[in-house]
Amino acid sequence: MDSLDKARATQLMNIESKTGKSLQELRQIIAVSGLLKHSEIRDMLREQFNLGYGDAASLVHFARETDGQTRAEQQGLTTDQILDEFYVGTKASLRPVHERVMVEVDKLGAYEIAPKKGYLSLRRKRQFAMIGPGTRGRLQIGLNIKGAGGTDRFLLQPPGGMCQIIVYLTTVGEVDDDLIAWLRAAYNAAG
Mean pLDDT calculated for residue range 7-30: 88
Q: How confident is the model at residue 177 (pLDDT cuts 50, 70, 90)?
A: very high
By the 10 Å C-beta count (0-12 exposed, 13-18 middle, 19+ buried), 90 is classed as: exposed
Question: Taking the domains of the chain in order of start, what are their residue ranges?
Answer: 3-66, 79-189
Between CA 122 and CA 114 the distance in angstroms is 6
**Average pLDDT taken over every residue of the chain:** 88
Share of the chain above pLDDT 70, in %: 91
Reduced to 3 states, what is the DSSP secondary structure of residue 130?
Answer: strand
Confidence of residue 1 (pLDDT cuts 50, 70, 90): very low
pLDDT at 97 over 90: yes
Task: Return d(Cα 182, Cα 152) in angstroms, integer.
Answer: 14
The answer to whether residue 67 scores a pLDDT higher than 70 is no
Buried residues in 43-80 as b, exposed as e (16+ CB within 10 A): ebbbeebebebbbbbbbbbbbeeebbbebbeeeebeee
What is residue 85's three-state secondary structure? helix
Is pTM beyond 0.75 here? no
* Average pLDDT value for residue range 21-48: 91
